[in-house]
Amino acid sequence: MEGLWNWGFVWQTLPILLEGVVVTIQISVLSYLLALVLGLVLALLRRNPRFWISRPTGEIVEFIRSTPLLVQIFFIFYVGPQFGVTIHPWVAGILALGIHYGTYTSEVYRAGLEGVIKGQWEAAIALNLSKYHTYRDIVLPQAIPPIIPTLGNYLIGIFKETPLLSVITIAELLTRAKDVASDHFRFTEPYIMVGVIFLVLSIPASYFVNWSERRFKRGYGRK
Amino acid sequence: MEFFYSIFDGVALESVLSPLLKGTSVELLVPLLKGTVVTIWITLFGSIAMTVTGIAIGLMKLSAFWPVRYIAIGYIEFFRGTSLIVQMFIWFFVLPTFGLEMPAFIVGVLAVGMNVGGYFAEVVRSAVQSVPKGQYEASIALNLPNASRMRRIILPQAIRLMLPPWGNLLIELLKGTAIVSLITLHDLTFEATSLNNANFQTLQNLGTALLLYYILGRFVIIPIVRALERRFNRGISRSAA
Amino acid sequence: MELMVRFEKVTKRYGSLVVLDALDLDVAPNEKVSIIGPSGSGKTTVLRMLMTLERIDDGVIYVDGEPLTHMPKNGTMAPASEKYLRKVRGKIGMVFQHFNLFPHMSAVKNCMEGPIRVLGLKRDEAYSRAEDLLGMVGLADKKNHYPAQLSGGQQQRVAIARALAMRPKVMLFDEVTSALDPEVIGEVLEVIRALSREHHLTMLMVTHQMGFAKEFSDRVCFFYEGKIAEQGPPDQLFGAPKNERTQQFLSAVLDAG
């Protein structure tokens, strides 16, 4: 193929890449759900009064947070086979992204929980509410709304990092671009298109999150 | 050129460690530590790139001259709107076709540096804007020229504010260097995955690699940043303005 | 006559600071006790420990004949577990200085939460109880309002209704008017006054409202540095204080007007 930029190649490649986008979105959503649930669990564990629960959890969270996601992806994908268990690439990818981002969301949940006024906890004790009901009815409904925008940002973060999963054969956007590029011995259009697709999807999403953050702060009526 | 780059790979370290550790249970440390040398160099140069671009773009975003400001905004949107791996692939595979061919090492350093630099630019902008207005006014009252005012009054105070996020971004930089393993650089991740493809001892190989990254972050980078924070907070009382 | 509340050599420390110093305090059923004193004297801590918001360092607290802070275990007394606390805590209710209403629930929902979740009442039973109590504190027409839509005095009255919905035997009032604008203090005190007259309730109140304390209490306790410096019927304590510190405190308070 000749030339610096071949528009024909672009239109030819686009449908293949869009198929990859679908996979990217599916994986992002599934990983994000795992991250949301895991984050809350980790945040609650770190608040546990028994230090032999909260300290190890804290150390593990720090460890995962401060080490490269790429290495964690390889780890989860290949550690199973080492012990005789095969893991489907999607499972490995979703686990890796979900756990890694679960450590990020756990920090956000912790901030949200810290933001609930101490008096609310005390009123719940005064009414003799169980821990379960204290969290479910009183604390979480106050802790979560303010952190929703930040949590939303992490969905965008996961979405942008899914190309890392190309190293474990998941057929997301970057993998397809790599395949097209190696089939035609031409990298320029596929990779630039990947960049453009990410920009087109993530920039409006970020603006939406920022806009909703401003709206949230205004409309909730927090003192 | 070859010799120049040989400073930055871990071959020297490997030749020292290999006879010592070969045959022992920690034999895997030889290739991993060799890769760690490369990771450290990339992190070092990358942090310089990050700091320089961050300050440049951050200050550009504060410019009164709108073309400059828009360039900065475009830079930040691009580098934050796409992920490091996409950027690195574009620098490594696409730029050569436009005539810009660089050694992988330079590509790696610039890619991580400019990526994290995009985030640092926001930190810089925010820190400079957080310096109390009174400082600007006082330096105007003392009739200090513009550049001098920036350099001697505003920046030192902004630096104090920038340091903790800068430290966090250094950790992000360190994590980001793992991606250079995908553009043929023999860093820690590359050595770990190569080793793993040979003997499939994932738990040991990749587990140790993760530990090494953790050690670099928590026991090397963080203490350095803390020391810098202490130095820059010298003489500043807690109460203050 | 069985005591409703008994503090037996209760000590509370914050680090090296002793907030309650081997305190002995007995309260009879249906007795109305006011607790006054300078800040830091430990008076709020007394209420907070009774409501199990703070852990005890030494001594025992009994409520309605049963230990509160300790539980019987293998023949001796061990510090109470969370499970045990939940069994005995229900006898006590508390109203806070800063109301602590649940902002995401309406007034009636605030009052229903405890009865439904803890007492096991059905939704409509809890609703009618909440309605009645809100009516009793004069806020029947505001039952569907949210705390943000209520004045401080109204919020505090909802807080009282919320605490009463749990049918406690002991009601604690922790400086409940200190955060209120002067013009609404009266409506809250009126509710408390009615409560003390019409209901069989043991009441402990930490307050700076000396006039109200004098009128409402059976007994007034003056706290100083973690101990009761002086206590007695209001006429006696306010009229002819025996302790020097009591005199100093009362004259300082009266000066402030």
Q: How close, in Å, is residue A33 to chain C by CA atoms?
A: 26
pLDDT level of residue B160 (50, 70, 90 thresholds): confident
Amino acid identity of residue B86, one-letter, is V
Confidence (pLDDT) at A1? 57
Residue found by looking up tokens 């909440």 in the block: C130
**Averaged pLDDT score across all residues of chain A:** 91
Q: Return phi, psi of residue B22, to 5°.
A: -60, 130
Q: Which two tokens stand for residue C130?
A: 């909440």
pLDDT level of residue C100 (50, 70, 90 thresholds): very high
Are A143 and A116 within 8 A, CB to CB?
yes
Residue found by looking up tokens 């009382």 in the block: B237
Confidence (pLDDT) at C44? 92
How far apart, in whole angstroms, are the C-alpha atoms of residue B222 and residue C199?
Answer: 62
* DSSP per-residue letters across chain C: ---SEEEEEEEEEETTEEEEEEEEEEE-TT-EEEEE--TTSSHHHHHHHHTTSS--SEEEEEETTEESSEEEETTEEEEPPHHHHHHHGGGEEEE-TT----TTS-HHHHHHHHIIIII---HHHHHHHHHHHHHHTT-GGGTT--GGGS-HHHHHHHHHHHHHTT--SEEEEESTTTTS-HHHHHHHHHHHHHHHHHS--EEEEE-S-HHHHHHH-SEEEEEETTEEEEEE-HHHHHHS--SHHHHHHHHHHHHH-
Task: Look at A111-115, B116-120, B233-237 and tell me which has the smallest mean pLDDT.
Answer: B233-237
- Write down the number of H helices and E strands in chain A: 9, 0
Confidence (pLDDT) at C168? 94
On the 0-12 / 13-18 / 19+ scale of CB atoms within 10 A, A14 is middle
Q: What is the mean pLDDT of residues C186-197?
A: 92
The residue ranking higher by pLDDT, B241 or B92, is B92
Q: Is B77 on the interface with A (CB under 8 A)?
A: yes
Confidence (pLDDT) at B6? 65
Q: Which two tokens stand for residue A30?
A: 């599934």
Are B58 and B120 within 8 A, CB to CB?
yes
A173: nearest Cα among A186, A188, A190, A157? A190
Point out the residue among C53, C86, C102 whose CB comes nearest to the CB of A120. Answer: C102
Confidence (pLDDT) at A193? 92
Q: What is the mean pLDDT of residues C112-140?
A: 95
pLDDT at C119 over 90: yes
CATH number for the domain whose boundaries are B2-233: 1.10.3720.10
Are A85 and A58 within 8 A, CB to CB?
no
Are C156 and C189 within 8 A, CB to CB?
no
Q: Is C55 on the interface with A (CB under 8 A)?
A: no
Q: What is the mean pLDDT of residues B159-164?
A: 89
pLDDT at A220 over 50: no
Confidence (pLDDT) at B147? 66
Amino acid identity of residue A16, one-letter, is I
Question: CA separation (Å) from A186 to A130, A166, B93, B97, B118?
Answer: 63, 18, 9, 9, 29
**Averaged pLDDT score across all residues of chain C:** 91
Confidence (pLDDT) at B10? 75
Confidence (pLDDT) at B5? 62
Q: Determine, for residues A122 and C53 on separate chains, whether the beta-carbon distance falls below 8 Å.
A: yes
- Write down the number of H helices and E strands in chain B: 12, 0
Are C29 and C38 within 8 A, CB to CB?
no
Confidence (pLDDT) at C169? 93
B194-207: per-residue pLDDT in tens? 999 998 888 888 99
- Chain A residue whose CA is closest to C163: A127
Are C151 and C184 within 8 A, CB to CB?
yes
How far apart, in whole angstroms, are the C-alpha atoms of residue C31 and residue A40?
Answer: 46
Are A70 and B177 within 8 A, CB to CB?
no
* Domain boundaries, given as residue ranges, for chain B: 2-233
Question: CA separation (Å) from A199 to A18, A209, C35?
Answer: 14, 15, 65
pLDDT level of residue B241 (50, 70, 90 thresholds): very low
Percentage of chain B with pLDDT > 70? 92
- Chain A residue whose CA is closest to B86: A195
Confidence (pLDDT) at B155? 75
pLDDT at A210 over 90: no
Q: How close, in Å, is residue C237 to chain A by CA atoms?
A: 31
Percentage of chain A with pLDDT > 70? 96
Q: What is the mean pLDDT of residues B110-126?
A: 94
Q: Which residues of A touch C94 (CB under 8 A)?
A: 126
Task: Look at A149-153, B226-230, C37-41 and tell me which has the smallest mean pLDDT.
Answer: C37-41
Query: CA quadruple B4, B8, B11, B14: dihedral positive or negative?
Result: positive
Which residues are paired to C78 by β-bridges? C71
C38-74: per-residue pLDDT in tens? 988 889 999 999 999 999 999 999 999 888 988 888 7
Instruction: Please tell me whether the overall predicted TM-score, pTM, comes out greater than 0.90 for this model.
Output: no
Are C159 and C100 within 8 A, CB to CB?
yes
Q: What is the mean pLDDT of residues A35-53?
A: 94
Confidence (pLDDT) at C200? 87
Confidence (pLDDT) at A221? 44
A73-104: per-residue pLDDT in tens? 999 999 988 888 899 999 999 999 999 999 99
pLDDT level of residue A222 (50, 70, 90 thresholds): very low
Task: Look at A4-8, A9-13, C135-139 and tell me which has the smallest mean pLDDT.
Answer: A4-8
The region, left, alpha or beta by phi > 0 then psi within -120 to 50, assigned to residue C52 is left
Confidence (pLDDT) at C80? 84
- Chain A residue whose CA is closest to C111: A127
B38-94: per-residue pLDDT in tens? 999 999 999 999 999 999 999 899 888 889 999 999 999 999 999 999 999 999 998
Q: Going from the N-terminus, what domains does chain A have, and what CATH number goes with each? A: 11-221 (1.10.3720.10)
How far apart, in whole angstroms, are the C-alpha atoms of residue C20 and residue C16?
Answer: 12
**What contacts C206, CB < 8 A, 6 or more positions away?**
C34, C35, C36, C43, C44, C46, C47, C173, C174, C175
How far apart, in whole angstroms, are the C-alpha atoms of residue B119 and residue B124?
Answer: 9
Q: What is the mean pLDDT of residues C83-104?
A: 94
Confidence (pLDDT) at B20? 76
Instruction: Tell me which chains share at least 3 CB pairs under 8 Å with chain C.
Output: A
Residue B175 DSSP symbol: H
Q: What is the mean pLDDT of residues B205-217?
A: 94
Q: Determine, for residues C114 and A117 on separate chains, whether the beta-carbon distance falls below 8 Å.
A: no
How far apart, in whole angstroms, are the C-alpha atoms of residue B181 and residue B92?
Answer: 12
pLDDT at C238 over 80: yes
Task: Look at A85-94, B228-237, C144-153 and tell me which has the smallest mean pLDDT.
Answer: B228-237
Q: How many CB atoms lie within 10 A of CB A37?
A: 13
Q: Determine, for residues A130 and C117 on separate chains, whether the beta-carbon distance falls below 8 Å.
A: yes
Amino acid identity of residue B102, one-letter, is M
How far apart, in whole angstroms, are the C-alpha atoms of residue B230 and residue B235?
Answer: 10
Task: Look at B149-153, C33-37, C231-235 and tell me which has the smallest mean pLDDT.
Answer: B149-153
Residue A3 DSSP symbol: S
Q: Which two tokens stand for residue B128?
A: 């400079």
Helix residue ranges per DSSP H, A66-130: 69-82, 89-114, 118-126
Point out the residue among A123, A138, A142 whose CB comes nearest to the CB of C96. Answer: A123
Please give the biggest Cα pair distance in chain A: 77
Point out the residue among A67, A82, A160 whose CB comes nearest to the CB of B202. Answer: A82
pLDDT level of residue B2 (50, 70, 90 thresholds): low
Instruction: Tell me which chains share at least 3 CB pairs under 8 Å with chain B.
Output: A
Which helix (H) or strand (E) segment holds residue A189: the answer is: helix A188-219
Q: How many CB atoms lie within 10 A of CB B21?
A: 15
pLDDT at B7 over 70: no
How far apart, in whole angstroms, are the C-alpha atoms of residue C251 and residue C257?
Answer: 10
When mean pLDDT is compared over A29-43, A162-176, B9-23, C238-252, the highest value belongs to: A29-43
CB crowding B115-134: b at 16 or more within 10 Å, else e:
bbbbbbbbbbbebbeebeee
